[in-house]
Structure 1
């Protein structure tokens, strides 16, 4: 060992632990390890093994905070499925990833960022919405801070953190391409897992979730499984697959190479089959309204007429004929067009119940009082025992007509401005991407009337990234022109 190596190892190597301070560190780590193992048993051993991996991950995220945002998107796909096998607060992983991304971007001087990119209308809307949700802490009808904390995350917290990060970090087209690839990979895994359930049945963990946790009434109808894959439920799985089918279908008509268009078309068919086996009626709104948005954006009269004709044909087949009645999924979709459907009547009754309760509550019953969190923190309340079903009914119930007006204003602004920008992008490739993303956003927004699609994972996280990406695409086109 030469003099330089000896100096290095004395300063940075294991010889440091022979000093007094080093010995104290070793003793402290040993005592901590013994305590973990004694208190947590096998869990303590696993935790100790994870500490080095966690430190490496933190260092990596410190240098590349973009990875934390991709991690939050991936976990959006996985948290529900993981929760069926290992009971853990998986949802908090999204919070941790997004928080670390915000923190490291703010304090790491090596991260190049231009704060003026975050000064725009979409970020402002997100801040206003989160500010209103913050004031809901003081709603006297609420269930307290803890219920508010858990519930507000999916409603506005993830959005207010993710949207500025996209504007700050994802300035290049390659970031959008990676976004699409992640959606394809994990949606395809969801389709494959769904067909595994359809063909081979559910496994032990999924069986326990269906029967022991009382999800069988909504997922097993007339002895037929509504496939839910590793998503939160069949409704979310169906809506996500329908969105991806439409996204791939629109890109299949884009100005790309022949093989790329064929690949998009094949993926579109695969995702459509995933949507079909979910037996989700509300997800029909995704291709219906998203398709109308796309046809409108094309500004091609012939294509618009042909598309509308195809939609009318499908509507007539479902509404006025018994074609394909032998297919369970078709029978289920057909019930969505029946105004006397018992499920629809129950939903309308629930909305009337909320209407009476909220008559003197313009700011709602409080964030965290309805749905899952309401049942957890105040199970005997009217809010907890009245199903919201719709995303907008949930927003109305928890934040009142004032909150609903703010939320709908934001979504309306996104649709209005997004549609205008999508139609007026000169670059054909960028216009195809913009119209595809815009159509998916429109489809999800309208399908959320029937189910809580917009705020559930993974669609909620997808929308938090897709909306700012939609408004960044025209910038790439302008750069290319210059």
Structure 2
């Protein structure tokens, strides 16, 4: 016991000593080079977070999510490219190491059937299929394959870490509180960007890259991205969190008190404003699609019927009301009136034109061969420069129709598990959280048709987190086993 306490004290003393040395060092270097001081300060903060992560993997799990979401902010401030993937991989490995080292001390038993569960078996088969893609003869280079596999393994590890972090319903409550607090902070920052305009360092950063500038600036107005990677990721997450808040708002007052419902209503307003400012049309569609699933399974609930009526009236007012001066409302309408939008029609033409090629290549052209990735890693490839504008189309192009079938089975089974958990659960709050997970999964599944919604860094983290919760609930937390 004494040795363990002495070890903890030693770590604390070293940590304090590090900060005592770092403060004057940063002050001195700041007087010499401002950019270098930012890098050094970020390094010190990163080292401190890494120490905490290694000591407490559950806390590190949440730190990893925050870092993944906000790492682009210091990148913009420094006006330099930061190896985001390396930073994320390093922290995730620290979380994994902490989880492995603490597993021996914790006597937690999991009933998850890792080698029998149908969804996990599909995941393993899909993983093997991706590994075999290394030998795809249609690829010109395997350099892109290594990048893709590294990102995939990162998501794979995160999914299984969720099994370890989520030990009970209290952990699930904690996760959703954390998630809504994080996305609310992002939404507030996004609304601030809309109200005051992008900050000078943000304008300078997007101006450095012509492709990023064309993505962010639309018709002379910037699409809001908060502290996240881009407007698309920001919009998708705003839609997901809006769905969760709206579902929770329908709870009985005995379950969620009136002050908490006022807070939820405030969060809904902030998230919806941020969603509109993002200019992400796919995210606009996600909102009614996700809520539609929730409404269908809760038509017997009076609060649900009231919420459905209010939501329907609001949607009709926005779509057909006499509002013609707001660019946000105009772009929102184009998401539901695609036939009047030339860019959406062009995407449909491109999809039909590439279908014969898909039929002739059952294993696809290889990962990272389509779109801008293809131009970077497989220049000269038939798919290089061809923009899929769809997660499913990218799977069909790069992995073939065999890979597309695996992706569809995997996504379907995830939603099936979530809905099945909902009908098994008895406690109302748990049921609301489970149906919100199902609604978000369904919204992302539909969004994949128009955009690579599930492939974005931020959305893939959230999707793997709620999928991990879904599997954990099925085996360990369901009351009807």
Matches within 5 A, 1:42-191: 60-85=52-77, 86-106=80-100, 109-114=104-109, 116-117=111-112, 119=114, 120-154=117-151, 156-191=152-187
State how far apart, in whole Å, the 2-side matches of 1:300 and 1:423 are.
Answer: 14
Aligned partner of 2:293 in structure 1 is: 293
Identify if the C-alpha distance between structure 1 residues 259 and 352 changes in structure 2 by more than 3 Å, giving closer, same or farther. same
- Structure having the higher Rg: 1
Matches within 5 A, 1:169-318: 169-214=165-210, 215-254=212-251, 255-300=255-300, 313=313, 317=317
Deviations 1:180-234 (A, max 9, x none): 2332232122222222321222233322343331233333333222212222222
Provide the aligned C-alpha RMSD in A: 3.4
Q: Retained in 1: the 8 A contact 2:111–2:476? A: no
State how far apart, in whole Å, the 1-side matches of 2:284 and 2:37 are.
Answer: 48
Identify if the C-alpha distance between structure 1 residues 230 and 281 changes in structure 2 by more than 3 Å, giving closer, same or farther. same
How far the C-alpha of 1:145 sits from its partner, in A, is: 3.2
State how far apart, in whole Å, the 1-side matches of 2:205 and 2:41 are.
Answer: 30
Whether 2:357 is the aligned partner of 1:357: answer yes
How far the C-alpha of 1:309 sits from its partner, in A, is: 5.6
Identify if the C-alpha distance between structure 1 residues 123 and 317 changes in structure 2 by more than 3 Å, giving closer, same or farther. same
Identify if the C-alpha distance between structure 1 residues 115 and 101 changes in structure 2 by more than 3 Å, giving closer, same or farther. farther
Which runs of 5 or more residues in structure 1 are unaligned?
A: 1-7, 13-36
Identify if the C-alpha distance between structure 1 residues 298 and 340 changes in structure 2 by more than 3 Å, giving closer, same or farther. same
Identify if the C-alpha distance between structure 1 residues 146 and 245 changes in structure 2 by more than 3 Å, giving closer, same or farther. same
Q: Retained in 2: the 8 A contact 1:226–1:278? A: yes
State how far apart, in whole Å, the 2-side matches of 1:282 and 1:59 are.
Answer: 39
How far the C-alpha of 1:446 sits from its partner, in A, is: 1.3
How far the C-alpha of 1:367 sits from its partner, in A, is: 1.1
Identify if the C-alpha distance between structure 1 residues 53 and 309 changes in structure 2 by more than 3 Å, giving closer, same or farther. closer
Deviations 1:17-58 (A, max 9, x none): xxxxxxxxxxxxxxxxxxxx9xxx999999999988777655
Range moving further from structure 2, 115-124 or 465-474: 115-124
Q: Retained in 1: the 8 A contact 2:293–2:439? A: yes
How far the C-alpha of 1:391 sits from its partner, in A, is: 1.6
Identify if the C-alpha distance between structure 1 residues 275 and 144 changes in structure 2 by more than 3 Å, giving closer, same or farther. same
How far the C-alpha of 1:73 sits from its partner, in A, is: 1.6
Matches within 5 A, 1:450-461: 450-461=450-461
Normalised by the length of structure 1, the TM-score is 0.81
Q: Retained in 2: the 8 A contact 1:210–1:216? A: yes
Q: Retained in 2: the 8 A contact 1:325–1:331? A: yes
SS in 1 for 2:369: coil
How far the C-alpha of 1:315 sits from its partner, in A, is: 5.9
Deviations 1:459-482 (A, max 9, x none): 110111011213434667656x99
Which runs of 5 or more residues in structure 2 are unaligned?
A: 1-5, 11-28
SS in 2 for 1:359: helix
Q: Retained in 2: the 8 A contact 1:66–1:169? A: yes
Q: Retained in 1: the 8 A contact 2:141–2:378? A: no
